[in-house]
Amino acid sequence: MTRVRLDLFASLDGYTSAGSTPDSPMGEDWGPLTAAYAATRTFREHVLGDTTGGGTTGVDETYAAAFSEGVGAEIMGAAMFGLHTFPDDPDWKGWWGDEPPYGTPVYVLTHTAPRPPIPMAGGTTFHFRDAAIEDVLAEAAEAAAGQDVRIGGGIGTARAFLLAGLVDDLHVMTAPIVLGRGLRVWDDLRGLETTHKLTTEVAESGTIHLTFTR
C-alpha cells in the first residue's frame, strides 16, 4: 500500500536552513545540517555519482539507503524547485542538472507558475500543479502505482502535509548543532508521538534519527 513519507533535517533547537539564494539554494546552514547524510556511501553514490565506494557505512548510511527505496512519486514546493528564486525564467528546470536524482514523477506545487511537464533524463518528469495538497497527493499516489509518495520539501510544503495529517512516516535527522536561526520545524505538532509510534537512535556522527510511523 502506498505510504506517504517525509524526511527532514533539523538542528537540536528545531530549525532547518533558511535563506535560499541563487548561490546557496538551501541556505548557508544547509551544509552543517546535512553533513552526516552527505557523508554516507548512498548519498555519494546516488547523488554525487561517486562509484568508488567511499562514504560512511554506519547508522546514518542505513537511513540514507532507505531514503530512496520504494519511492514511486515525489511532491515538492515551488521554492524547493526554484520557482521563487528564478520567477522570470520559464525554462528553469530545477537545481539538479539534466538528470535529477529522482527517477520518478515529481509534482511541483505552484499557485503562480504552472507550466507544461518537463521530462528529464533518468526517469524524472516534473509536473506543475495548482491544486489542494490532498488532490496532488491523490494524483501522486496513483502515479506511484503501489510504491510510496515522498514529500520532498521545502519545510513549508513538508509542514503543510504534516499539519494536515497526511504523513505516515516521518524521519527527522537531528544534527548535533544549535543553529539559533532558520525555519522552525516543529510548530503546532503537539502530540505527534501519540498519533505515530516514535523511535530514537543516535548515529556514530552524533546525528539523532527520529522516526514517527503510523
Which residues here bind its own copies, judged by CB under 8 A?
Answer: 12-14, 176-181, 185-193, 198-202, 206, 208, 210
C-beta closer to its own copies: residue 121 or 178? 178
Q: How far is the CB of 208 from its own copies (least distance, A)?
A: 6
Task: Return d(Cα 201, Cα 74) in angstroms, integer.
Answer: 26
Assign 3-state DSSP to the chain and report helix, strand, coil percentages, each to 5. Answer: 25, 25, 45
Bridge-based pairing state of the strands 148-153 and 4-11: parallel
Q: How far is the CB of 154 from its own copies (least distance, A)?
A: 19
C-beta closer to its own copies: residue 34 or 124? 34
Q: How far is the CB of 35 from its own copies (least distance, A)?
A: 12
Q: How far is the CB of 194 from its own copies (least distance, A)?
A: 9
Q: Are 88 and 169 in contact (CB under 8 A)?
A: no
Q: Are 139 and 160 in contact (CB under 8 A)?
A: no
C-beta closer to its own copies: residue 115 or 184? 184
C-beta closer to its own copies: residue 99 or 193? 193
What beta strand segments (E) does the chain contain?
A: 4-11, 15-16, 71-77, 105-109, 118-119, 125-129, 148-153, 169-175, 183-184, 197-202, 208-213
C-beta closer to its own copies: residue 165 or 180? 180
Peptide bond into 154 cis (omega under 30): yes
Q: How far is the CB of 69 from its own copies (least distance, A)?
A: 24
Task: Return d(Cα 156, Cα 139) in angstroms, integer.
Answer: 20
C-beta closer to its own copies: residue 12 or 138? 12
Cα Rg of the chain, angstroms: 17
Q: How far is the CB of 26 from its own copies (least distance, A)?
A: 18
Task: Return d(Cα 136, Cα 94) in angstroms, integer.
Answer: 19
